[in-house]
Chains A and B, each alone.
Chain A
Amino acid sequence: MKEFWNCFKNGIIGENPVLRLMIGLCSVLAVSVRLENCLYMGAAVIFVLTGSNMVISAIRNFVPNEVRIPIFIVVISTFTTIVDLVMKAYLPALSEALGVFIPLIVVNCIIMARAEAFASRKPVLLTMADSLGMGIGYTMVITIIGIIRELFGYGQFFYRQIFPSSYQGMMMMILPPGAFLLIGLCIAILNHFYRRNNL
């Protein structure tokens, strides 16, 4: 049980994929202009990450080592396509807003990295804990950035006006430069925290 918990926690704090390993950044920056987009993006990533890594872990003994990467890619792209098709059918507005970043989950480095480093070696349940941890770690970062960008960019929270309506909106937060600035700040603050506690 302890082991599961550690695997789970690892993705959220110890090796947070976005802030510590700095992978899977593209979608974090691209879709985080609205909080709603972030939550759905997080859900999509958690689904693909957990689903494909559990399958990879389950089939790990039947996969010849030479072709393991192509087979991983096939599994991951199957799950990504499922998410893409389901979103197009039942959440068309979101599918439009997230655009190419849903199909791009297939090359999200987090998933491939976890498949190689973890899922292809460990049993299914441990893999599930690890994937969920990583997925939630990703979702947390994207949510925090989404809240800040929506609040300062539009003066809103979940499309609800928070700042007085005379607030003009901070253009920079919605545009690419603001995204880069914000992720830099997040990493700096986290690094500072780690340095302080000598972690």
Chain B
Amino acid sequence: MNAMDLFKIFISAAFVDNIILARYIGLCPYIGMSSNVANSLGMGMAVTFVMVLASVATWVLWNFIFVPLGLEYLQIMVFILVIAVLVQLLEAILKKTVPNLYQAMGIYLPLITTNCAILAVTFFGVDYHYNLIQVVIYSVGVALGFTIALLLLAGIREKLRFSKVPQFFQGSPIVFFSTCLLAIAFMGFKGLVK
């Protein structure tokens, strides 16, 4: 395992296979939380935190408990429960120990349990047969890609408020059109990692 391979995993997770713009995963928070930059930054932070912890926790459980015991069919249930428990724990711990951080991202935590991006990353981490270091790098990459996509859209939406959008496209349609353009831009990353 060398640094170059890890870098490749990171870049392809963050840009080439951007979880939102290339794989269509995590669209609910993407549309719901992108109305302003501050909110989307908080959401991005919370997602990063939980995503990395969740993929490490599920990876360890999967490779040391479920595969040896042949309980692969419980994957979906266990992974989603791990994420739910993790979110609850994190909320309680942050509230007690780092109140500042809790204020910044606390309100986003409950929303994360049903964030498909996090569950998807835990699945992919296991599916791709990554080792522990690769899983960490991969999940950080995906989370960064998620945050970047969220921030880009939030920036656009803040500007959109001051522009005259035809009535037909007002509201969410224009958000999807912006996403379409972002997705075209991100297609430029395809073929970057070989």
Contact = CB atoms under 8 A, between A and B. Distances in A.
Interface of A: 22-27, 29-30, 69-70, 73-74, 77-78, 80-81, 84-85, 100, 103-104, 106-109, 112, 175-181, 183-185, 187-188, 191-192, 195
B95 interface: no
A73 B84 contact: yes
Contacts of B171: 187, 191
A176 B21 contact: yes
B176 A180 contact: yes
Interface stretch (B23-31, B35-43, B137-145): B23-31
Contacts of B23: 30, 176
Most buried by B among A27, A30, A187: A187
Contacts of B65: none
A104 B81 contact: no
Interface stretch (B5-13, B55-63, B179-187): B179-187
Given A73-B84, A109-B28, A184-B180, 20 more contacts: A22-B32, A23-B28, A25-B27, A26-B27, A70-B81, A73-B77, A74-B81, A100-B25, A100-B120, A103-B123, A106-B76, A107-B114, A109-B114, A176-B23, A177-B184, A179-B24, A184-B172, A184-B177, A187-B173, A188-B169
A78 B81 CA distance: 12
20 contacts: A22-B28, A22-B172, A29-B24, A29-B27, A70-B81, A73-B77, A73-B84, A73-B113, A77-B77, A81-B75, A81-B77, A100-B25, A100-B123, A103-B123, A107-B114, A109-B28, A177-B180, A184-B173, A185-B173, A187-B176
B80 A107 contact: yes
Interface in B131-180: 167-177, 179-180
Contact of A73 (B25, B80, B170): B80
Contacts of B179: 180, 184
B168 A188 contact: yes
A28 B45 CA distance: 27
Interface of B: 21-28, 31-32, 73-77, 80-81, 84, 113-116, 119-120, 123-124, 127, 167-177, 179-181, 183-184, 187
A80 B76 contact: yes
A112 B114 contact: yes
- 3 interchain residue pairs of minimum CB distance: A184-B176, A188-B173, A77-B77
Given A25-B27, A109-B114, A177 B84 contact: no
B49 to A, nearest CB: 18
Nearest to A29: B24
Contacts of A180: 176-177, 179-180, 183
Contacts of B169: 184, 188
B172 to A, nearest CB: 5
Contacts of B174: 184
A104 B119 contact: yes
B27 to A, nearest CB: 4
Contact of A181 (B25, B74, B180): B180
B125 to A, nearest CB: 12
A69 B84 contact: yes
A185 B174 CA distance: 9
A85 B71 CA distance: 13
A13 B149 CA distance: 31
Nearest to A74: B77
B135 to A, nearest CB: 16
Contacts of B176: 180-181, 183-184, 187
Contacts of B173: 184-185, 187-188, 191
B126 to A, nearest CB: 11
